[in-house]
Amino acid sequence: MLLSFELQSSSGATRTIEARIDQFVIAGWAGRDRAAIEHHIEELAAIGVPRPSAVPLYYRVAANQLTQDEVIQVVGPHTSGEVEALVFASAGELFLSLTSDHTDRKLEAHSVALSKQICAKPVARTAWRLDDVAEHWDELQVCSNIAEDGVSKAYQEGALASLRSARELIAGYTGGKALPDGVGMSCGTVAVIGGIRPASEFHMVLRDPRRGLRIEHRYRIDILPEIA
């Protein structure tokens, strides 16, 4: 999947880069705090999702599910998004952007892997060099809002300090080797405010308070009929 990003730097300079992502990995249960992981496990258990076999757990998803469109189509009203940092390797360098692990919650109760595969994964159009933020990773923040009945509501808010760093997750997946070019990995999510639920629109943000920069993306959900 060929994606295009505006590469931001601390100086304010920008340029466009293109990255081909041929393999996509979702790092699930990526929290540092076991209690926080257990909280998220219980959130999902409340909607019938079985406990993971290990933490973290690396799910493979088809790379052609990545999209930078502002609308995704899903079957049925049982899907929802989750804001996640996205790290990817291109031309021998690591970059950081933002994605939503949009998931079919009804199918998730049957198979987490299949539920992740069934939905497109929206990706922002802005990126940073990972080296520019790696030393202050814990200061980075993610948040998301959803539209419910035409009203914007806070859905997620948290610091990446609550999650394993991108480099730690990469090492866990590759056995300590570098992430190969063409591989993208989403790096876990933060707790939901008010319970996991569907929405008509999802707005996600990655903030770097130290540099005063932000990456954001908004997408709408077009629900297709679920025909038996």
Give 31-65 pLDDT, tens digit per residue: 888 887 787 788 778 878 788 888 789 999 999 99
Q: What's the confidence (pLDDT) of residue 198?
A: 95
**Percentages (nearest 5) of helix, strand, coil residues in the chain:** 20, 45, 35
Q: What's the confidence (pLDDT) of residue 26?
A: 97
DSSP-based three-state secondary structure for 29? coil
Could you tell me the pTM of the whole model? 0.92
Whether 103 is covered by a domain: the verdict is yes
Whether 198 is covered by a domain: the verdict is yes
Closest to 63 (Cα-Cα) out of 31, 94, 91, 99: 99
Mean pLDDT (whole number) for 99-104? 97
CB 198 within 8 A of CB 79: yes
Q: What's the confidence (pLDDT) of residue 29?
A: 84
Q: What's the confidence (pLDDT) of residue 193?
A: 95
pLDDT band at residue 5, thresholds of 50, 70 and 90? very high
Closest to 198 (Cα-Cα) out of 131, 125, 139, 148: 148
Q: DSSP alpha helices (H): ranges in 58-179?
A: 105-108, 112-117, 166-174
Rounded distance between C-alpha atoms, residue 121 and residue 116, angstroms: 9
Rounded distance between C-alpha atoms, residue 36 and residue 112, angstroms: 19
Rounded distance between C-alpha atoms, residue 162 and residue 154, angstroms: 18
CATH code at 123? 3.90.850.10
pLDDT band at residue 72, thresholds of 50, 70 and 90? very high
Whether 188 is covered by a domain: the verdict is yes
Region at 142 (left for phi over 0; alpha for psi -120 to 50; beta for the rest): beta
Q: What's the confidence (pLDDT) of residue 100?
A: 98
* Residue whose structure tokens are 């610091």: 159
Q: What's the confidence (pLDDT) of residue 22?
A: 97
**Number of domains within the chain:** 1
Q: What's the confidence (pLDDT) of residue 167?
A: 96
Q: Within 13 Å, how many C-alpha atoms sit on residue 29's CB side? A: 21
Whether 88 is covered by a domain: the verdict is yes
User: Between vectors from CA 28 to CA 186 and to CA 224, what angle results, nearest 5°?
Assistant: 75
Q: How many CB atoms lie within 10 A of CB 225?
A: 7
Average pLDDT value over all residues in the chain: 94
Q: What's the confidence (pLDDT) of residue 48?
A: 81
Whether 101 is covered by a domain: the verdict is yes
Whether 228 is covered by a domain: the verdict is no
Q: DSSP alpha helices (H): ranges in 77-216?
A: 105-108, 112-117, 166-174
Whether 210 is covered by a domain: the verdict is yes
Whether 163 is covered by a domain: the verdict is yes
Give 126-174 pLDDT, tens digit per residue: 999 999 999 999 999 999 999 998 899 999 999 999 999 999 999 999 9
Which residues form the domain of 181? Answer: 2-223
DSSP-based three-state secondary structure for 32? coil
CB 83 within 8 A of CB 98: yes
* Residue whose structure tokens are 């257990």: 38
